[in-house]
Amino acid sequence: MDEAALRDLLEAVRAGRVSRRAFVAKLVGLGLAAPFAHLLLARSGWRRPRPHAEYKPTRAGGGGALKTLFWQGADLCSIRISPSAPRIGGCRIFYEPLAAWDPDGNLVPVLAAEIPDIENGGIAADGMSVTWKLKKDVQWHDGRPFTADDVVFNWEYASDPATAAVTIGSYQDVKVEKLDPLTVRVLFENRRRSGRVALNGMIIPKHLFEPYKGANSRDAPANLKPVGTGPYRFVDFKPGDLVKASAIRPTMCPTGRTSTPSR
């Protein structure tokens, strides 16, 4: 795509003929990183959609069980070994990523305190590193704190060939380092990788998976009994049939994140 075609595409987004999501998908299809596509939109003066009014229920839940039917049951509650659609559907209520895409195609923080960009210093001027700041007071469902050590471990776990993680390709030529208990930096060894990794996917707890890093990754008990940071706590799992969880009553952290209460 030449400069003229790119300008025409940006104008189509501003005019409403092309959605933000379609613009990002187009550039990703050409081999560019999604964060770069969003940066182009921001630099061109395209404003993000106005946030929707926040729904504030008077009480949690409405009574009874919420049942979701899938075309195929999850056979494993693991998202690093094999992130098939049924497994992701069965795991996502337990595990959370650093960031996720909203319906308007905006990258929004989940476990991260903010989305890294050039203005907040999260993206290095040369584009060769990205710094992620993590939210405070986040706990795993077993009460252990979520920290930068967990994030670094996810890189170590997935990049180890013996683990045989399906996401290993996302971590080639990448290094993740801990700067402090709530900050990590992703370093890219070559410019072609720059911006492509947001510590791909949902974060798993170091204290439960570290003993199973490598060749015995399939033996981790947490593959069948997930312990995450998400809005639901694990109750029961029948492979290929049923995933059962209980909703956790949320509390508001100092950072504004709806999170699990201290236990």
Structural domain contains residue 34: yes
Has residue 208 got a pLDDT over 90?
yes
Assess whether 33 and 91 both reside in one domain. Answer: no
Higher-scoring residue by pLDDT: 80, 7: 7
Structural domain contains residue 53: no
Q: What is the pLDDT of residues 19-71, one digit of tens each?
A: 877 888 887 777 666 666 767 777 666 655 555 566 666 666 566 777 777 77
Structural domain contains residue 76: no
Structural domain contains residue 193: yes
Assess whether 185 and 98 both reside in one domain. Answer: yes
What is the Cα–Cα distance from 127 to 39, expressed in whole angstroms?
Answer: 12
Assess whether 26 and 127 both reside in one domain. Answer: no
Structural domain contains residue 56: no
What band does 140 get if pLDDT is binned at 50, 70 and 90? very high
When divided into structural domains, the chain yields a total of: 2
Q: What is the pLDDT of residues 100-123, one digit of tens each?
A: 887 777 788 999 999 998 889 898
Q: What is the pTM of this model?
A: 0.72
Structural domain contains residue 16: yes
Q: What is the 3-state secondary structure (H, E, C) of the chain?
A: CCHHHHHHHHHHHHHCCCCHHHHHHHHHHCCCCHHHHHHHHHHCCCCCCCCCCCCCCCCCCCCCCCCCCCCCCCCCCCCCCCCCHHHHHHHCCCCCECEEECCCCCEEECCECCCCCCCCCCECCCCCEEEEEECCCCECCCCCECCHHHHHHHHHHHHCHHHCCCCHHHHCCEEEEEEECCEEEEEECCHHHCCCCCCCCECCCHHHHHHHCCCCHHHCHHHCCCCCCCCEEEEEEECCCEEEEEECCCEECCCCCEECCCC
Assess whether 121 and 249 both reside in one domain. Answer: yes
Has residue 93 got a pLDDT over 70?
yes
Assess whether 26 and 121 both reside in one domain. Answer: no
Has residue 199 got a pLDDT over 50?
yes
Assess whether 99 and 8 both reside in one domain. Answer: no
* Domain residue limits at 120: 85-259
What band does 261 get if pLDDT is binned at 50, 70 and 90? very low
Structural domain contains residue 22: yes
What is the Cα–Cα distance from 207 to 124, expressed in whole angstroms?
Answer: 31
What is the Cα–Cα distance from 49 to 59, expressed in whole angstroms?
Answer: 29
Domain CATH for 231: 3.90.76.10
Structural domain contains residue 59: no
Assess whether 109 and 13 both reside in one domain. Answer: no
Assess whether 39 and 123 both reside in one domain. Answer: no
